[in-house]
Structure 1
Amino acid sequence: MEIAEEILHQPGIDLAMIENAAERIKGQARRTPLLEATLLNEFLGMRVLFKPECLQKTGSFKFRGAYTKLSRLSEAEPGKPVVAFSSGNHAQGVAHAAQLLGLSCTIVMPDDAPAIKLGNTRAYGANIVTYDRFSEDREAIAHAISMETNAEIVRPFDDLDIMSGQGTTGLEIVQDAIDAGTRVDHVFCPAGGGGLLSGIALAVKSCMPDTAIWFAEPAGFDDVIRSLATGTRQNADFQTRTICDALLTKSVGVRPFKVIQEHVSGGYAITDDEALSAMFLAYQHLKVVVEPGGAAAFAALLQQRQRFAGSTVVVVLSGGNVDPAVFAACLAQSDGVPPQ
């Protein structure tokens, strides 16, 4: 069921595709702002601008790619049902996009997905099929549903429409920075399957070639870091555990990896405690709620703050769909946090 490696010889996304996606989602997705906190800048010794996709529709950047994909699909094949597999954020994005476009939607979700993500996906009208992420193959389940119902499989990251939709996040970063007369030295982004990272990297590097792109992964799930080091796609270690559920993928996608190899400078592995501390700082200084995976890029910057001192950095806060118990744990992580 995995995307074949021969697609490496096929055309990928380009800036024109991302610009087309931006027009397509206009009036549907929210244009999230760049946020800044003076005290946080002083504490870190750099200027940090945050792209809060936790404020996006469905609580994450995933709505961008989902609406791009489904709107293009509904034009080509009106009324065609869709099936997707996701731990929660892609699920909600696809479910809501399908709801807006009047499409039948089934989502394959792990049975241990956060309750808020399961509940919201149902609320958007999707039919949910659960599975055990440690013993069952979600792609095989989705493929079987597709064969039975003639549904289009909407992959979470290894898809050009999805990647171009996620790339609109980077396009907005570029446009807002240019409008403000701000030179961006670095962009930090979380990495799971690589759809967001590749889309942002392509958009930013096409317009600001001197800006470096960095990413963050949970410790133990650092397959993108290892893939870049070896030059071939590596698998994550599912024997480990992390609270960053949004970033748990088997491996980086074939299409995203091609872009990442060309445009991304490198990445860092972060711990659960570092993610919780980043969530706390975002809550304290920006007044936003971020989920663990959504705070991973900020956690990586905090980890590496001495290296990036004096820079202007954009950090993508990719999602905010966090269960109350996990957010309560983040509020207990106040050691070393600068005062308000």
Structure 2
Amino acid sequence: MERIGHQVHRTPLKQSATLNAYTGGDIYMKMENLQRTGSFKVRGAMNKIMSLPEVDAEKGIIAASAGNHAQGVALAAAMRNVPSKIFMPKRTPSTKVAATRHYGAGVVLGGDTYNEAFQSALEDQQQRGSTFVHAFDDPKVMAGQGTVALEMLQQLSDLEVILVPVGGGGLLAGMASAVKAFHPKVRIIGVQALGAPATYNFFTGRGKGPLEHVHTIADGLLVKKPGELTFPIIKKYVDDMVTVTDEEISCAIMFMLEREKTLVEGAGAASLAAVICKKVNVQGKKVGCVISGGNIDPGKISVFRDLSKSARQLHHIL
């Protein structure tokens, strides 16, 4: 935490009386949507880039991202005063692309998923010799993401359960490592989109190969396979994993907008969706939910509203 403590925000751990009454739990939301760049991703990118030897930083930074890692890399590279180039999927929300460019990075759009953008970035990196900053499969990136857990437990030392959204697994691996090192009795539960359940499948033994197709409104979770470095850590330290549907994610987004007057993106709402839609037993427990980001396209609010209706009817949500 010392390396990035002055570069990132210490985000609030917030409660909702409505949420507590509905779930019967004592729910605490870690508001990483209020983080610099609007996402937790800046923590890992900052830790990695600020720790690079000068000879590596001077080569320039290259990365692949569905949006939030891109902004974190762009900001960290700008603070280190080195150029950055980010490959992003074509379907990346325009708000994330514009923000990445605003922080000073060059942006290349291509492919439909993170994995396709990743392959393009690797090819470019091999040609140019730039320093690659992986979105999740890197020890220093994972360590940076793990500071979310350390902050949560500093803010509330008797948390019993922490729910973490999962794409490639960098946040979950980093947080699980940190929690089990200092508070081993705290349960760590990963939450993945049902339409992109690669890590969930590996974890539960439902499948070991990469997914052919992924589809979810949570663009930050559009990953076809878990990381080679992240998954062994997840398998060792994570207690359980669950999935949530797009309708349930939409329900959590609309809950935050209507009840908490806060805009949260799809990936950021995943852990909350698991609580609201009762995928995890939180009755009588102190539970932390990582609200991992808030970089959402406001033009899609009507889509989320429509999708949320079926989940509200199914789960009898107000």
Q: Same fold (TM over 0.5)?
A: yes
2:179 to 204, 212, 227: 204
Inter-CA distance 75–172: structure 2 relative to 1 (3 Å threshold) = farther
The match for 1:245 is 219
**SS of the residue 1:133 aligns to:** coil
Report the CA distance between 1:306 and its aligned residue: 6.9
Report the CA distance between 1:49 and its aligned residue: 0.2
The match for 1:225 is 200
1:312 to 251, 272, 286: 286
Report the CA distance between 1:257 and its aligned residue: 0.8
1:281-296 pair list within 5 angstroms: 281-296=255-270
Give the Cα separation in 2 of the matches to 1:319 and 1:237.
26
Residue 172 (1) aligns with residue 151 (2): yes
Report the CA distance between 1:28 and its aligned residue: 0.7
Q: TM-score, normalised by structure 2?
A: 0.92
**SS of the residue 1:25 aligns to:** coil
1:277 to 248, 251, 269: 251
1:188-209 CA-to-partner distances (Å, cap 9, x unmatched) read 0000000000111111122211
Give the unaligned 5+ runs of structure 1: 1-21
Report the CA distance between 1:305 and its aligned residue: 5.8
Contact 1:25–1:64 (Cα < 8 Å) also in 2: yes
Report the CA distance between 1:268 and its aligned residue: 1.2
Give the Cα separation in 2 of the matches to 1:283 and 1:215.
23
Contact 1:53–1:316 (Cα < 8 Å) also in 2: yes
1:266 to 240, 259, 281: 240
Give the Cα separation in 1 of the matches to 2:99 and 2:113.
23
Residue 117 (1) aligns with residue 96 (2): yes
Give the Cα separation in 1 of the matches to 2:142 and 2:114.
28
**SS of the residue 2:243 aligns to:** strand
The match for 2:273 is 299
Q: TM-score, normalised by structure 1?
A: 0.87
Give the Cα separation in 1 of the matches to 2:198 and 2:287.
24
Report the CA distance between 1:23 and its aligned residue: 0.6
Which residue identity lines up with residue 247 of structure 1 in the other structure?
L
1:309-328 CA-to-partner distances (Å, cap 9, x unmatched) read 11110000001110012234
**SS of the residue 2:85 aligns to:** strand
The match for 2:304 is 330
Quick check: 305-314 or 253-262, which moved more?
A: 305-314
Contact 2:23–2:275 (Cα < 8 Å) also in 1: no
**SS of the residue 1:73 aligns to:** coil
Contact 2:90–2:109 (Cα < 8 Å) also in 1: yes
2:33 to 40, 54, 62: 54
Give the Cα separation in 1 of the matches to 2:249 and 2:216.
10
Give the unaligned 5+ runs of structure 2: none
Give the Cα separation in 2 of the matches to 1:170 and 1:75.
29
1:145-160 pair list within 5 angstroms: 145-160=124-139
Which residue identity lines up with residue 196 of structure 1 in the other structure?
L
**SS of the residue 1:96 aligns to:** helix
1:170-224 CA-to-partner distances (Å, cap 9, x unmatched) read 110111112xxxx211100000000000111111122211111111111131111
1:114-144 CA-to-partner distances (Å, cap 9, x unmatched) read 0101111111111111112269832332122
1:282-337 CA-to-partner distances (Å, cap 9, x unmatched) read 22333321101110111112222673211110000001110012234334546444
Figure out how many residues of one structure are paired with residues of the other and give that number. 312
The match for 1:99 is 78
Report the CA distance between 1:271 and its aligned residue: 0.9
**SS of the residue 1:157 aligns to:** coil
Contact 2:66–2:113 (Cα < 8 Å) also in 1: no
Report the CA distance between 1:74 and its aligned residue: 4.6
Which residue identity lines up with residue 138 of structure 1 in the other structure?
A
The match for 2:228 is 254
Report the CA distance between 1:78 and its aligned residue: 4.5
The match for 1:15 is none
Give the Cα separation in 1 of the matches to 2:61 and 2:42.
15
